[in-house]
Structure 1
Amino acid sequence: MRHFTLLPEVACAREQQGFFEDKVSKAVTMYKVDLPEDQYTSKAVERRRAAESARKERIFNTRLRVMGLDLHGLEQQVQDRKHQEHLERQRDKAHDFLRLNQDEALVQQDNSEKEQQINVHSHLAHYWSTYQRDAGLNNDLRGALTHPVPENELGPASMQMFEGEDKGAKDRRIEQIKFTERNLSAQKSDNERRRMAEKHRDTLTGLGLMYEDQRGREICALEEDCRRAARVALDNYNHALTTEQAEQKREESRRERRENLAEVWHTVTSDMMTECPEAAEKQPGGGVLTDRWRGMSPAQLRAIHREREKQCEEKRKQQDKDKCSRTSFGVLLLKASQAAEDDEQRETEMRRHRRREMDLSNRLLAREQQTHQEYLDKIVYTNKPSKDYFLQFNTGSR
């Protein structure tokens, strides 16, 4: 829907009032009358100038003047934009809430994993301290082997053990060496068993591959035997088919020879070869059998010659008549062509006469037009308008 903004009647009346006030102010200025400045008048002048500038912008704007302004479409665009921004804000809030929930879930999962690890470590430490106190496997063998010295070997003032000394270090080192050797031997045996298992697995894999290859070769051999048997069967079938076709051809040639001999015998013994004149007149309806007819009699030939001579005489008469007709038609055609040539010559002369008259008329019209153009250029259009003449138009809104 297009909305065009129009000035109300009140605005028009005020503009007229402002126009008269402007006239009065100009008259006062012209006669230099010192009158006190009226605030209402100055406001009216400013208001009128603002209205004039707005009117110029509205009138000289081609798009607004021709197309109008679609206020409903603009309002709909604004509403759609606001709705889109609202949906984007709601989506961002939902994403933020989901992200916070995921962060909290990840933090809670991390805390639970840490607590589980702490519990596992505490249970493992308790197990070590309870069940592996003497072995010292997971405690770096510190304090695992202790050999307490009996009290009867050390007197109350012997001072043979001081703080920080360890008399069982040598035995513990020997136990550590033995323990390391046992671990190494266990690792070697494990490695040997693993290597044997891998070797056994490789052997089984090789045997499986060999079996697959052998199976594939057997399948290929069976397929080749099947193809060979199929080729032999096909050759046998083709040979049998060829033999059958040769036998059929021989039988066909024997049958054809028998039929040819029968036809030759029938032709030799037929009425046509024996020249029986009665055989050609046995057709019902009074006709003649053409395959048995041996020719016409002399009377029939004389009748045919008489008819042919009669037809030749009639044809000569018709030709003479046609010749006379063609001669008369040629004479008429010659007269018509001479008349047509005379008419064409007269028409050509008339066209030449009309062309001369038209050329004369065109020269007169050209001379008149040239004279009129010289009159316009030298007398009428002597005062050409300047650029300032065209710039004085379309400068105001009225």
Structure 2
Amino acid sequence: MDLRVDNSADAAVERRRAVEATRQARIFNTRQRVMGLDLKALEQQVAERKEREEMEAQRERTFDLLRVNQDQVLMQQLHEEEERKSESNRDLIHYRAIRQRAEDTRDADLNFDRQRARGLSIPVPNSELGPASMQVFQGEGLGDKEKRRAQMEQTERVLRAQREQSEQLQRKNTHRELLKGRELVQQDLRAVQLDTLEEECKRAACIALSNYHLAQAAERAEKERNEQMRKEDEDMAEVRHMVTSDILTERPEAAQREGGRVEGSVGGPKVLTDRWRGMGPEQLSAIHKQREEQRLERERLREIDKQRDKAWDLQRMTVTREAEEEERRATELQKEKRTEMDRHNEQLAREQRQQ
């Protein structure tokens, strides 16, 4: 059975190595460390600014849609309120027409027209009716039309007052709702404006910081460019001086001191050693001639020394031979003396034996 190899540790090590390599590349970047300009950070700031602007535009569009929707909802509420008011008025009129008719009231018989009252037919014979059965009395029914008109006018005034009061109350409620909605919209707009101002302040701060960094980078680049130009000018001036000065020329006079030796110098050289380019042909021929004379003189002296050495060698050999000859003669003489002494001793010994 094959077991799965856990590569999480290796992946973690590789990830840490990549992070460390990125950090070292950022730290050891001389341009970024010296000039203080981080292009990746600037690009990230630009991307973040574009993203914030896009989010701001999206939020503005969202708030515009929200305002339009709120206006539409408010108009719909007003329309529905008008519809409810009209429906309520129609229901009220219908209810009054059905449930509050004048002929259905308790005193409807008193408010009827006298002629209509006289035209009523009672099925009971008049002979059987008593005083309590009388419906119309003498003097009644005078001014009924004016009374009904006055009552209708009063009822209309009351209804009109109630309707106006209801409409006024409805207008107050609608106005209060409008003010509340407008206040909420203003609060939202104020919050959006504050957020926009805050984002603009942050964006302005980022832009100012970026401009400051760019100005520093430009100033540093200008300083480096001026320093490079100054070094190049100095190098060119030095090269021009080296080319046009007497250092690289072949003039022997350039190495000669004015007036011979330098004042105050004792035994100083007659030429300037830093400008001397070598000797001329006459000087070289004189030196070669002098060197040849010196060589011949050395040869002569060497020959003399050789002859002297030979003479000394011959003398040493002669002295050595004489010393050897003298030593040989002394040895022979001593040998002869010893031989003579031996013979004499032998003679004495024989004479002594003979005695």
TM-score when normalising by structure 2: 0.30
Higher RCO (CA 8 Å, separation ≥ 6 residues)? 2
Q: Which protein has the larger Cα radius of gyration, Structure 1 or Structure 2?
A: 2
| TM-score of the two chains, using structure 1 as the length reference | 0.28
